[in-house]
Structure formats: structure tokens, C-alpha cells
Amino acid sequence: MEMERTTTETGTAPATATEAAPRPAVEPRARRVAAPKKLPKKRGVAVGDPVGDMLTRVRNAVGARHETVEIPASRLKSDIARILKTEGYIAGFDANATALTIKLKYSGKAPALTGVERVSRPGRRVYARRGDLPRVLGGLGIAIVSTSAGVMTGREARRKGLGGEVLAQVW
């Protein structure tokens, strides 16, 4: 059934009275105001590769010539920092329950740590037997290896006859 419309100066007008009748005023519903939610304490960005994040922070801090760099703490990161300190790549480190602060080492203007590379990543784990452990820059750098006897340099692992996951190379 087709309805006819009549036109006026302002436009089209409804043909029937039911269309023209104003709608009854409806009171708006009372809106419920939710109590503000308590946000959890911010703990930083979730990282998929904590060791890679540590090495990147150290690399970036050396490039920016910072004195120290602060990293979220873990036992593995503390072990890596211990190795870097023993091998002379950093001046020192301080570990507490939440943060690991690494003091970088410079000789004049040149940093002691010139390069660091993550080898084994979460997407591609790299394992080596004792005879296949990498020699970094022909022995001038170190490989950091996670073995069954703990985290150590590639040189120590070779001497003890251990293989393991090659975490990083430092030079």
C-alpha cells in the first residue's frame, strides 16, 4: 500500500495524522555510574626475551655513553652480569630483588664493550657440544653459555668438558 505525500514550502509533509503526531516524551533511563577500577601497579613492559632485552639495554647505554643502566632483575641476568664483570666488560653491577644496575666501563672515550649479540633466541634455540662452542673473534671475545653446571663463558665450558645453550657473544 503506497502512501501519498504532500509537499509544502519546507519540504515533504506526512500524509497521515499518525505520522504527524508528536511522540510522547520518554524520560531517559538513569545511568549507572561504575566505580573507578583500581589499576594494578605498573611493572613495566612484558618482554618475550628478557636476556635479549638486557643485552639491548646495555648496547644502547654504551652507544649513548651512559654511566649506568638499570634492568629488571633475574638470576640469569645477574649471572650474565657476573661474567661480564669477571671478563672486564663492565665496571660492576648491583643486584637487588627488583632491579639490576650495571655500571659501564670506559677506557678514555672508548667503551670496554664494543659489541654484543644475542645468539640463542626464544624462536631459535642454539645449542653446542663442548667441541662446537664458538670462538668469538678468534678468542678476543667471549661466548656466554648456559650449561648444566650454570652460566659460564665458552672457554670455561670447553675446559670443563660441557656443552649447552649459547646465549650471547660479547666482544
Assess contact for 145 and 152: CB atoms under 8 A: yes
Write phi, then psi, for 70 (nearest 5 degrees).
-110, 135
Span 93-146, pLDDT tens digits: 999 999 999 999 999 999 999 999 999 999 999 999 999 999 999 989 999 999
CA neighbor of 157 nearest in space, from 54, 76, 83, 74: 83
Span 59-101, pLDDT tens digits: 999 999 999 999 999 999 999 999 999 999 999 999 999 999 9
Between 168 and 29, the more confident residue is: 168
Domain spanning 50-170, CATH architecture: 2-Layer Sandwich (3.30)
Assess contact for 145 and 164: CB atoms under 8 A: yes
Q: Is the pLDDT of residue 47 over 90?
A: no
What pTM was estimated for this model as a whole?
A: 0.74
